[in-house]
């Protein structure tokens, strides 16, 4: 199995100048825990819900002040097991999927669990 088979393509994103308040609303409305940060389609960071609720943040602050820029990523054709192992070893729950520097998707631990369940279902059939 490859990452592209299970990743969410074209995820919702924000820019470094998006406000904390707008990013919080986006996470809430999207029912997600991660929001990639892009500049002209190029991945420059990622936000987690934990980043957005750190003490002392103001809704008018920009996300570039709290986004993670030391990124772990994957590619569409990487084996899903390698991406899952990276998330497990780094203690993270999502990997941006990139083609060069351009964001093309996001893969999460939930996606990996869904793939495992599907593989198990097929093996039992």
CATH architecture of 3-124: Roll (3.10)
Query: From start to end of 1-125, where are the E strands?
Result: 8-9, 34-39, 42-48, 94-99, 102-108
For the stretch 66-102, pLDDT in tens is 999 999 999 999 999 999 999 999 999 999 999 998 9
Gap between the Cα atoms of 16 and 1, Å rounded: 33
pTM over 0.85: yes
Q: What is the mean pLDDT of the chain?
A: 95
Gap between the Cα atoms of 77 and 71, Å rounded: 18
CB-count burial class (<10 Å; 0-12, 13-18, 19+) for 63: buried
Map out the domains of the chain as residue ranges. 3-124
């Amino acid at each position: 199995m490859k990452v592209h088979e299970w990743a969410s393509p074209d995820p919702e994103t924000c820019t470094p100048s998006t406000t904390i308040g707008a990013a919080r609303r986006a996470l809430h409305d999207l029912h997600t825990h991660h929001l990639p940060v892009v500049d002209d389609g190029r991945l420059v960071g990622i936000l987690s819900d934990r980043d957005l609720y750190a003490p002392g943040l103001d809704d008018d602050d920009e996300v570039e002040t709290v986004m993670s820029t030391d990124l772990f990523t994957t590619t569409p054709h990487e084996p899903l097991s390698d991406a899952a192992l990276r998330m497990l070893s780094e203690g993270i729950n999502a990997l941006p999927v990139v083609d060069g520097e351009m964001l093309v998707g996001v893969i999460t631990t939930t996606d990996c669990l869904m793939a495992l369940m599907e593989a198990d279902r097929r093996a039992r059939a």
